[in-house]
Structure 1
Amino acid sequence: MFTLPEYCAPDFSAPLLQNAPSVRTAPAPADGAAPAGYHATGMYPEYYKVDGVWRLAEKSRMDCVSVLAPDGELRIVEFRNLVQGDSVVLGRTDDGSEGILMHTEGFSAGGKSAEAFAFRTGRSRETAFTRDYDALAGLLRHEKEHGNVVWVLGPACSFDASAKAAMQALIENGYAHGLLAGNALATHDLEGSLLHTALGQDIYTQESRPNGHYHHIDVINAARAAGSIPAFIEQNGIRDGIMHACVAHGVPYVLAGSIRDDGPLPGVYGDVYAAQNAMRELVQQATTVICVATQLHTIATGNMTPSYCVRGGRVRPVYLYCVDVSEFVTNKLRDRGSLSSVPIVANAQDFLCRVAAGLGLPVAEKYDKINR
């Protein structure tokens, strides 16, 4: 049975923290620019001493600045969203000495291995991930009732009939509360639902179909003519797939555009900063984020996902999973500062099907429907 770990707040009675000064601030000199000596945020819980009281910034993300609003709220703001005159927190230390404390041990279970030397302490394609799958199933059952799960999916998740069916089942059964993806994931998912292909290949046999290279752009063109993805789904009688499940069950999705995109589909964000704003809105609601087979989207999402959130007045972890067939991708996310991510080396089809099976979802039935 999954239980959330208890959060252990800092001991503010410690002399250093008790005697620490309140934070200093300076006005932003111009829109989109921070003053000299600004404090850059990280992914862990950060406390700021304001008027003699230590306060937690509840909605954070790394590589931003802290702004003390006129109403006393602590806001974590991207540089591009700074407004001239904003009171920006100053300080280059996070040990409390400047009124800023980064708390990295809030969810630490304590204790270390009795062995100073041990084999296979890293995570790679040789790692046994069975325990991780069991833990993820327990987490998802908890989050279905008490949390918010955001999935970040690459197009590989729609290239296979069973992967599509597995993700559809996860959405339909309440294990997804948001989806972040690009034009390709949605395009090939809709192509598979309408034409049983992805990039012109049969989503079960992987055989190329005659003129199959037209399929994805035919789908994009028809969707643009329909005016929206929901309208395209309705007009073409689509009743399966990832996008259909999101539309049918009211799961919000953000499709962020790329310079490589065909079309793109209607609803895809062409402005990168508008896409980032929309992505962050979903991430701020998330308590678990699962990134599957998409390096760039994974790193982008990881950079805006803190290691914690506050729900119902309680500080709890935000769980971040990075799933990819390449160890390079899982390691790169951690190298970019997302140190709390759980890496799983697996291809998209195997991962999604195994997660769905671990939750007892009827993936086989949905797969049969796709192929009838």
Structure 2
Amino acid sequence: MPFALPAYNEPDFAALSGAPLARFEAVITPGVAPDGYHATTIFPEYFQLAPQRWIMPAQSRMDCVVVRRGDELDVVEFRRLAPGDMVCVGRRENGEDGIYVHTDPFGSIENAREKFAFRTRMTRESSFSIDYDELYDLLEFERENGFIVWVLGPAVIFDHDSREALTRLVEAGYVHGLLAGNALATHDLEAAMHSTALGQEIYTRRTAALGHYHHLDALNEVRRLGSMRAAMEHGLVKNGVMRAIHERNIPFVLAGSIRDDGPMPEVVADCYKAQDAMRNVVRQATTVMAMATQLHSIATGNMTPSYTVTGGSIRPVYFYSVDMSEFVVDKLANRGSLSARSILTNVQDFLVTTERGLRKRQH
């Protein structure tokens, strides 16, 4: 059965007929919201601007405030607030303050459960066969109809087969945006130049002689040439994920870290500029695949609402978290990304399995 997006269920606005209009107060101090501000969630939120006229911001993210600009609403980070901005105030979310947070926009599909049952939480013991099949359906649909953002840690590069699988996923059109740190690009280029990652051969795991220099040599050479693209044009980078990304002009953001070596010239060192660049990519996302990076996954989760508006229609944003650690996926949910689905497995195996499964479907 072909994949189909779930229908959006609008709130029952008739039941909110007695609700007051949403209130807005002016910002006085730059970057400081008025007392009693309303903080956004991952869910669709409606604000009554006139009697029976409920408006939903088209683009949102959690832990921000809502600024009224005429008849439109903008979801804004605190640091962007300027004097005179009119910020929504009110902390009751069921209409009492003219604010309605819609927590079940696509209808919950829950299996009937016994009051007492085993294995009701996702763990490393869970079976994931159906998750893979559902993911294949989703990615095939999104390749043609959506925008798939991958959030990746360097572990996906440390294995020969997973690096090849990820490169093929890029080439096959399943990657529309990439968010990562300096390490992913650095070790991908190290693999292209030296067939190692952090000095260890990516297929045999043998430690190369003076291998601890390899990622530094790769960084140094790219910095000498001025960019990764220049290194590719000079023939130093003939394969890999970043080459495939560049060849297809896929947008990517490499967010800097305090522990970075080098870093690569393309790394965004200012954390707030990196956040802005990441959000510009996330705004387009309809599916997010986050794997093997706790901090980048949580950061992206904080920027990703549970919905997006495309072509005038409201649809869900799917968020997958893939990691070996239950702690990582639990922490993502604990930081507010309640809609994230987890697959607990080695990400290298996950990439190989996913690419192979999608490729088989094409034949």
TM bin (shorter chain): over 0.9
Using the TM superposition, give the Cα deviation of residue 116 of structure 1 relative to its aligned residue in structure 2, in angstroms: 2.1
Give the aligned length. Answer: 359
The match for 2:5 is: 4
Confirm or deny that 1:348 pairs with 2:347: yes
**Partners of 1:320 and 1:359 in 2: how far apart?**
18
The match for 1:264 is: 263
Q: Which SS does the other structure have where 2:14 is aligned?
A: coil
Using the TM superposition, give the Cα deviation of residue 236 of structure 1 relative to its aligned residue in structure 2, in angstroms: 2.7
1:130-172 deviation per Cα after TM superposition (whole angstroms, max 9, x unaligned): 1111111100000001000000000001101111111111111
Using the TM superposition, give the Cα deviation of residue 6 of structure 1 relative to its aligned residue in structure 2, in angstroms: 0.6
| Contact kept in structure 2, 1:292 and 1:348, CA below 8 Å | yes
Structure 1 counterpart of 2:318, which letter? Y
The match for 1:298 is: 297
Q: Which SS does the other structure have where 1:180 is aligned?
A: strand
**Partners of 1:358 and 1:13 in 2: how far apart?**
47
Confirm or deny that 1:98 pairs with 2:97: yes
Alignment of 1:1-372 (within 5 A): 1-14=2-15, 17-52=16-51, 53-69=53-69, 71-110=70-109, 112-360=111-359
Structure 1 counterpart of 2:250, which letter? V
Q: Which SS does the other structure have where 1:13 is aligned?
A: helix
Q: Which moved more, 1:175-184 or 1:22-31?
A: 22-31
1:289-320 deviation per Cα after TM superposition (whole angstroms, max 9, x unaligned): 00010000001000110000001111100000
Q: Which runs of 4+ in 1 moved over 6 A?
A: none
Structure 1 counterpart of 2:35, which letter? A
| Contact kept in structure 2, 1:149 and 1:177, CA below 8 Å | yes
**Partners of 1:296 and 1:288 in 2: how far apart?**
18
**Partners of 2:153 and 2:228 in 1: how far apart?**
18
CA RMSD of aligned residues (A): 1.2
Q: Which SS does the other structure have where 1:360 is aligned?
A: helix
When residues 110 and 123 of structure 1 are mapped into structure 2, their CA distance, relative to the original with a 3 A threshold, is closer
The match for 1:365 is: none
**Partners of 1:12 and 1:319 in 2: how far apart?**
26
Please, what TM-score do these two structures have when normalized by structure 2?
0.97
The match for 1:366 is: none
| Contact kept in structure 2, 1:30 and 1:85, CA below 8 Å | no
When residues 90 and 235 of structure 1 are mapped into structure 2, their CA distance, relative to the original with a 3 A threshold, is same
Residue ranges of structure 2 left out of the alignment (5+ in a row)? none
Q: Which SS does the other structure have where 1:359 is aligned?
A: helix
Using the TM superposition, give the Cα deviation of residue 237 of structure 1 relative to its aligned residue in structure 2, in angstroms: 4.3
**Partners of 1:188 and 1:292 in 2: how far apart?**
16
Using the TM superposition, give the Cα deviation of residue 229 of structure 1 relative to its aligned residue in structure 2, in angstroms: 1.0
Structure 2 counterpart of 1:8, which letter? N
Using the TM superposition, give the Cα deviation of residue 115 of structure 1 relative to its aligned residue in structure 2, in angstroms: 2.0
Percent same amino acid among aligned pairs?
Answer: 53
**Partners of 2:113 and 2:255 in 1: how far apart?**
46
**Partners of 1:223 and 1:73 in 2: how far apart?**
45
1:9-35 deviation per Cα after TM superposition (whole angstroms, max 9, x unaligned): 101111xx1111110000011111100
Structure 2 counterpart of 1:166, which letter? A
The match for 1:370 is: none
Using the TM superposition, give the Cα deviation of residue 361 of structure 1 relative to its aligned residue in structure 2, in angstroms: 6.4
Residue ranges of structure 1 left out of the alignment (5+ in a row)? 363-372
Using the TM superposition, give the Cα deviation of residue 238 of structure 1 relative to its aligned residue in structure 2, in angstroms: 2.3
Q: Which moved more, 1:1-10 or 1:104-113?
A: 104-113
1:247-302 deviation per Cα after TM superposition (whole angstroms, max 9, x unaligned): 00111100000000000000101100000000000000000000010000001000
| Contact kept in structure 2, 1:194 and 1:236, CA below 8 Å | no
1:309-337 deviation per Cα after TM superposition (whole angstroms, max 9, x unaligned): 00111110000011111110011000111
**Partners of 2:212 and 2:145 in 1: how far apart?**
43
**Partners of 1:122 and 1:270 in 2: how far apart?**
38
Q: Which moved more, 1:221-230 or 1:101-110?
A: 101-110
Using the TM superposition, give the Cα deviation of residue 56 of structure 1 relative to its aligned residue in structure 2, in angstroms: 1.0
